[in-house]
Amino acid sequence: MPRSAPVTALLALLLVTDARAAARVATDGSLVLLADQDRARWDRRQIAEGVALLTDSLRRHPPTRFSVEAAIAAVHAEAATWEATDWSEIVGLYSVLERLTANSPVVALNRAVALGFRDGPQVGLDALEPLLSDPALATYSYLSAARAAFLSRLGRHPEAAAAYQEALTLTDNEVERRFLTNQMKNL
């Protein structure tokens, strides 16, 4: 389906996301957050191909869920460093994605995290607050983990530890469990 703009956008998303795969896990099998990844290990050719496909898709078709997700991934992939990430662009793209996904609570969570990186941990924590009562996120470990990270950055370590513990109870993924346990130890 080479002429289908939505399919092209999906391929762009897959390429840009996969281009970072080599840097996501350390040699010991531990999780490496995007902020800590060695960007030299990212496949720049694959990122460029994904961005070109995304650009082509957007020229031919209004934004779709996949094209906006690809654009978010591209903003991350094109930033020279974590600190150079254009968080305003990412927040704006998540706002578009919220409309395209009928206010998905997971997208709202991701937007809240982006707000926290753009405007500071208290803003991120405040944006997460209304999501705590959303039944769709009641067993979603990433909400608890995001709260824990913001609480930790604010120096609220007992609350952060409790949120990390909650995230631990909500995930069965062993790599994530080790990461969360280490985060708790580092408080």
- Blockwise average pLDDT, block size 10, the chain, 187 residues: 87 98 94 96 98 95 96 97 97 97 96 98 98 95 98 98 97 95 95
Within 8 A by CB and 6+ apart from 10, the residues are 66, 70
pLDDT at 54: 97
Residue 169 CA from chain centroid, whole number: 21
Q: Which domains does the chain have, with CATH numbers?
A: 1-83 (no CATH), 86-187 (1.25.40.10)
Helix and strand totals (H; E) in the chain: 9, 0
pLDDT at 3: 80
pLDDT at 68: 98
pTM of the predicted model over 0.85: yes
Half-sphere exposure of 116 (CA within 13 A, CB side): 23
Quote the CA–CA distance of 5 and 123 in Å, as a whole number: 36
Q: To 5 degrees, how large is the angle CA 158–CA 179–CA 170?
A: 70
